[in-house]
Amino acid sequence: FDHVYEEASDFEAVYESIVGNLLDRAPHGPVTYAVPGHPTIGESTVSRLRVQAKAAGVSIEILPGVSFVDVIAPLLDVDLGDGARIADALALGRIDPTVPLLVCQVHSRRVAAGLKLDLARHYSDEHPVTVIRAAGVPSDAHVSTIPLWELDRRDDVDHLTSVWVPAIPVLEATREVGSLLSVMARLRAPDG
């Protein structure tokens, strides 16, 4: 489906085109749709396909694969299972700077710029972020830690780029209302 990515005007159109094509082929025999990584982690087409196939009465079987999380985890000096949130750069949602964040799909400088702006609402410009590129590709894998303000100034951002954003302590999350509430609770506590 590379041609769909090249021809479509946005990702919404890409996803709908792929899912529509797959469902159109389903009545004519088995169809195999392979994606890089695990099909249920960071694959919007698979999520949409599950919903639309069920509505159309088409059965699907999902076989597991190695996800981007599996190849990134050994490159970071952290336990991703210790409360980290995983998010897509194009659908980031709510950011809690007191929770570590792994952002995937940082596929271009434009997306990196948008991510930087979203993160800058919660973190200082100097907050360290780790850029992981080509995890799982031994000859190309590269990890570098930079200040947040540099995130969109890199020339090596591509479809194999993810960003690790370490958490900050609650009392240092000065841009968050929750931090103010934590300070007030601490001050009002018996030993405050």
Tokens of 18: 């792929």
CB 72 within 8 A of CB 165: no
Region 145-162: what's the mean pLDDT? 94
**How confident is the model over 60-101, as pLDDT tens digits?**
999 998 888 999 999 998 888 889 999 999 889 989 898 999
What average pLDDT is seen over the chain? 90
Task: From 29, 24, 35, 92, select the one nearest 63 (Cα to Cα).
Answer: 35
**Sheet of 142-147, strands arranged across:** 85-88, 101-104, 161-165, 128-133, 142-147
Tokens of 6: 């090249």
Residue 172 has pLDDT above 80, yes or no: no
- In angstroms, how far is CA 62 from the centroid of its own chain? 21
